[in-house]
Amino acid sequence: MTATTDETGSKTHQSWVLVLILFGVTSIVEGVAVSQLFAFLPLYLAEMQMAASDIPRWVGWLTSLIFLLGLPLVPLWGVWADKYSRKTVIIRSALVEAVVFALIAASRQPWHLAVGMLLSGFQLGNSGVMLGALRDVTPRSRLGIAIALFGATGVIGFALGPVLGSLLIDRFGTSISTVFLVSGLLSLAVALMLAVGFREVSPEARPEGPVLKLAFGAMRSVFTEPVTRRLFAIFGVAFLARFMISPYLPILTERIHASGEGVASAIALVVGTAALVGGLISPLAGAAGDRFGFRTVLVASLAAYGLTLLLMPFAPSVLLLALLSALGAAFVAGVNAMVLGLLSMDVPPQQRSATLNLVYLPLYLAGIVGPAIGALVVSAGLATVFVLSAVIVAGGALYVFLRLQRPAEANAAV
């Protein structure tokens, strides 16, 4: 496709609509694969003849491996992409995902799974790069809608993954390993699609200097700003609670379902529906923030999320658990929207780009710590994980509420 020129006069390298479609498909496939891993990991361990009493602990430890290797590399991918090639970094993620899910599909022992999930950390770091490329090719008059649509694709993938997997398992009798293999093949197809359809989108000015110095210089500039530290901490609290309970939602669903038939569909209802509701509610949360104030909606969202977490382990039916899970996803979407909104307003302009590239650091850190905490406390009972996560979220709500009581000039940093 030929280059176009937006109203700012800068040349774009490719149609922004095509780039949005390519990146949207990439994000959806990634969401499908990862959500299936979260949803069906307990069932996969059961297929490996693991004792039922050991599965909750193993689920927590295995899930924490997903982000372990990826966390130290997060600051580097953005620098490598801007310095050398965004296209290469994005395709790298899809290829690694294809290999990882092929390994997971071939796993026959829990330690095989551990190797595959540990290697999955190398596929992280593409979302910020895609967002940066999309921002560079999109006219300013279309930037808001482009970013909003791209953000929704990941949620769509997370909603579709368990649903498609449950259809393959319950309707067509497919094995769980085959579900993971299909995800790996889809990831390989995405890599080929990007190689053929996406042209390199370079930043206006490539960064100069050693990669490590650039990467950690960006981190230093972000975390020396008090408002960023505080907002990242709140972001981390919400993600920590989410990742504490995510590995255990399928187990809780299985226990409430209490039937060997249709359990994959029940898990899809609880996990997939929740993801879909979270995606749909995010724009409403933004509108509420505009009307009532971002900090007010942030407190309300955190408090309500904590309440849903507290109620989940006591749900008497799968349907009610699905409702609580959907409400929880909606409140998490509210937290995410409010934190991103506050970042866009309160972070100094000269640091916004670096902050955007590192905004998912709290997610990756929570993805390691949250499941690990769950694995440590689940021996006290499945409900313990949900109650502890509710307490953590309540602490975050109290922090923001107390900050709200301060004078307006002190409240500018939350």
Helix/strand/coil (H/E/C) assignment for every residue in 16-67: HHHHHHHHHHHHHHHHHHHHHHHHHHHHHHHHCCCCCCCHHHHHHHHHHHHH
Hey, is 4 helix, strand or coil?
A: strand
Task: Tell me the per-residue pLDDT of 157-186, one tens digit each, with 9 for 90 and over.
Answer: 988 999 999 999 998 989 999 999 999 999
- Angle at which helices 294-311 and 226-245 cross, to 10°: 20
Helix/strand/coil (H/E/C) assignment for every residue in 300-368: HHHHHHHHHHHHHHHCCCHHHHHHHHHHHHHHHHHHHHHHHHHHHHHCCHHHHHHHHHCCCHHHHHHHH
Task: Tell me the per-residue pLDDT of 127-152, one tens digit each, with 9 for 90 and over.
Answer: 878 888 888 888 877 877 887 788 77
Average pLDDT over residues 205-219: 74
- Measure the N-to-C terminal CA separation of the chain; round to a whole number of Å: 45
Confidence of residue 357 (pLDDT cuts 50, 70, 90): low
Q: Give the global pTM.
A: 0.82
Q: How is 159-189 classified by DSSP, letter by letter? A: HHHHHHHHIIIIIT---HHHHHHHHHHHHHH
Task: Tell me the per-residue pLDDT of 230-255, one tens digit each, with 9 for 90 and over.
Answer: 888 888 898 999 999 999 999 999 99
Residue 129 near residue 84 (C-beta atoms within 8 A): no
Average pLDDT over residues 257-273: 86
Q: Which run of H or E residues covers position 140?
A: none
Average pLDDT over residues 337-360: 67
Hey, is 69 helix, strand or coil?
A: coil
Confidence of residue 3 (pLDDT cuts 50, 70, 90): very low
Q: How far apart are CA 254 and CA 337, in angstroms?
A: 31
Q: What are the Cα distances from residue 316, in Å, to 87, 181, 320, 386, 402?
A: 48, 34, 7, 15, 35
Higher pLDDT: 176 or 410? It is 176
Residue 246 near residue 307 (C-beta atoms within 8 A): no
Residue 297 near residue 288 (C-beta atoms within 8 A): yes
What structural domains does the chain harbor?
14-197+211-413 (1.20.1250.20)
Mean of the per-residue pLDDT values of the chain: 85
Q: How many residues does the chain have?
A: 414
Q: How far apart are CA 272 and CA 35, in angstroms?
A: 8
Confidence of residue 205 (pLDDT cuts 50, 70, 90): low
